[in-house]
Amino acid sequence: MTSTSDPHGHGHHRFQAHHFDTGEQQFQAGKLGMWLFLATEVLFFSGMFCAYAVYRSNHPEIFANSSQYLDTWLGAFNTLILLASSLSVAWAVRCAQLNNSAGIVYNLVFTLVCAGVFMGVKSVEYTLKFYEGLWWRSKYVPQIPGQHHDLTQAYADLQNFGLVTLAVGVALVILGYLLAGRNPAGRWTFWALGGSVLGIAVGCLGGNIYTQSKMSHGHTASHGHSDVDHHEAGHDDSSHHAANPPETSTTVPTETTPGDAPATTGGEGSDEADAADVDDAVPTAINPVPLAGDHGADVAQMPPPVVVTPEGPVEFDGLGRKFPGIFFSIYYAMTGVHAVHILIGIGVIVWIVARAAAGHFGSDYYGPVEYVGLYWHLVDLIWIYLFPLLYLI
């Protein structure tokens, strides 16, 4: 089947299925099917948006507090990257309508590079959060105010991952030359895959360099500012402990004086031995050790009380130890499912690139380009809502 007319001599396009009267009917049927699929996708994601709305409306302080651990600039950069990828997909559809096969291929390979960069930046965000203990609800490690995590290992891991993906991407591009010979579809399949993997490498290495420089640069400026916020909040908590015990039963703190030595537990210290026997052990409040290089003056003036439970210290004792983790459960569920959609999108766009390189698409037949484009725009649409909901407000 290499000619444009079908072998039965019906005179219709070779990709027109027999049960359709015309190519136009086939195109519109497929498009309606794609819109119905996108409708189910919207409903599917709405379940997670609903979870977000419920937890946010009942615990607004958790969301305001937790979103400070997300990097707005990485999220904004990824938003721009996805918008650019959507532009090139729309441009690819235009090229198909104008019989420009090369234009489809170039635009969609650009889309794939953007998709790779998005995933690379996401890998930086996830990896750093895992090293900081910002897991989902069941693995969440409560954050100590003013604590700076040692992320040297995370940066090294990310650099290794980025260099490996860089090597794999280059290898895929070279393999395209060596294995596929003069077959354009095979060659562009390798180059499209190589482009996405190279995009991952660029996103990962670039995001890694950015977060490292931000850490070393903003250690005293921006981070110091948030430390002060923590201490003020913590200080205020302590003045309210006696009058207003927190609602959550698991985190009833005991009052301690600011002068207590860090290692010394509060008045309930003798209960520590019993703590192992009781499920909900009575937590005790201590003053954390001021970390080296931290702002000694601030710490001395306003010691933050930190509730220590058998599971570890808890930030903002009034919040209860479980709550910040719920934000990250929702964060990982929503961004994770979105990232899976990006990966599936990479797969189908590689398929479209291969077919476009083989010359399958033109103004009389470009349904698959259009359908995959609609899917990619929907993935972009979901992110347009995810970015402000998780990173900004």
Partner 1 sequence: MNHDAPAHSSPHHVTSLPVLFGTFAALVVLTIVTVAQARVEGIELGKFEIAVTLAIATLKAGLVAMVFMQLIYDKPFNRVVILSTLVFVALFLSFTIMDTAEYMPDIRNFTLDNPNVE
Q: In the complex, which residues of this chain contact partner 1 (CB under 8 A)?
A: 22-24, 27-28, 31-32, 35-36, 38-39, 42-43, 46, 49-50, 53-54, 57-61, 64-65, 72, 76, 79-80, 83-84, 86-87, 89-91, 93-94, 97-99, 229, 232-233, 236-237, 240, 244, 246-247, 316, 318-319, 362-364, 373-374, 377-378, 380-381, 384-385, 387-388, 392-393
Decide: helix, strand or coil at residue 286.
strand
Q: How far apart are CA 116 and CA 201, in angstroms?
A: 8
Question: How near is the Cβ of 352 to partner 1 at its closest, in Å?
Answer: 16
Return the number of the residue (60 or 310) whose C-beta is nearest partner 1.
Answer: 60
Query: In the complex with partner 1, which residue's Cβ is closer, 199 or 304?
Result: 304
Residue 25 CA, distance from chain mean position: 39
Residue 315: count other Cβ atoms within 10 Å of its Cβ: 21
Q: Which is nearer to partner 1, 177 or 385 (CB)?
A: 385
Q: How far is the CB of 143 from partner 1 (least distance, A)?
A: 14
Instruction: State the virtual CA torsion across 334, 110, 102, 186 in degrees, nearest 10.
Output: -70
- Which run of H or of E encompasses 314? strand 312-314
- Comparison of 130 and 385: residue with beta carbon closer to partner 1: 385
CB of 189 to partner 1, least distance (A): 26
Instruction: Please state, in angstroms and rounded to a whole number, the distance separating the CA atoms of residues 374 and 355.
Output: 18
Q: Are 262 and 144 in contact (CB under 8 A)?
A: no
Give CA separation, 16 vs 5, 19, 104, 282, in Å: 10, 9, 20, 71
Question: Token digits for 48?
Answer: 């997670």
Which residues lie below 8 Å from residue 139, measured CB to CB, with a gap of 6+? Answer: 133, 325
Instruction: State the Cα angle at 73 between 121 and 54, rounded to 5°.
Output: 90
* Shortest distance in whole angstroms from residue 245 CB to partner 1: 9
CB atoms within 10 A of CB 173: 17
Which is closer to partner 1, CB of 72 or CB of 264?
72
- Per-residue burial over 120-158, b if 16 or more Cβ lie within 10 Å, else e, is bbbbbbbbbbebbbbebeeebebbbbbbeeebeebbebb
Q: Shortest approach of partner 1 to residue 25 CB, angstroms?
A: 9
What is the smallest separation between the CB atom of 73 and partner 1, expressed in angstroms? 8
Instruction: Kindly tell me which of 89 and 134 has the beta carbon lying closer to partner 1.
Output: 89
The least distance separating partner 1 from the CB of residue 324, rounded to whole angstroms, comes to 12
Comparison of 155 and 316: residue with beta carbon closer to partner 1:
316
In whole angstroms, what is the distance from residue 95 CA to residue 80 CA?
A: 23
Q: Which C-beta is closer to partner 1: that of 170 or that of 302?
A: 302
Do residues 353 and 192 touch, judged by C-beta distance below 8 A?
Answer: yes
Task: Pick between residue 40 and residue 138 the one whose CB is nearest to partner 1.
Answer: 40
Angle at alpha carbon of residue 229, lines to 225 and 231, rounded to 5°? 115
